[in-house]
Amino acid sequence: MGKANPERDIKTGKFLPGNTLGMRHGAHAVKPSAKVPSVRGIRALARHLDRLKSELESITPHLDIKKQLLINQIISLEEKRQLIDMWVKKVGLVIPEKVRKRRLELQPVMSFYISLMNSQRLAVLSLGLNEDHVRRLMTPLEIVQAEEKKREK
């Protein structure tokens, strides 16, 4: 017979409550992590998204339901992209465990990042905005730098 596992029920084979294997495995398992963006970062992101949405609505000619849906899609994609940026800034672009084993491997979320950027680019093109309007939209880093300049004055 196999070796008894103290983290599983002997009769059913299911994980016992409070075990570490159950926390690390499974689609719905949540592993506590200190590597999530701070509340201050999330608030700054929310301000950026609100400003971006109002700016997109103001520069979009003939705003109708289709264009409103595209704007909402752009905002949703921007939110996900910025959260990935914050997370990667905190944990690093490459997986540290793989680097120790002399393998260079990007964080798995980066494969999703390219599709987010392409979807966002296509939505902006579908809105019919020219490049001047798109360049005018600032990133959160540019917003923070502008706010710091205002405080210095």
What one-character-per-residue DSSP string does 4-67 give?
Answer: PPTTB-TTT-PBPTT-HHHHHSSTT-----S-SPPHHHHHHHHHHHHHHHHHHHHHSSS--HHH
Rounded to an integer, what distance in angstroms lies between the CA atom of residue 111 and that of residue 120? 15
- Tens digits of pLDDT across the chain (153 residues): 455 666 777 788 777 776 665 555 444 444 445 555 566 778 888 888 899 899 888 888 888 999 999 999 999 999 998 888 888 888 888 888 888 888 888 888 888 888 888 888 888 888 877 655 555 555 666 667 777 888 887
Handedness of CA 109, 111, 114, 119 (dihedral sign): negative
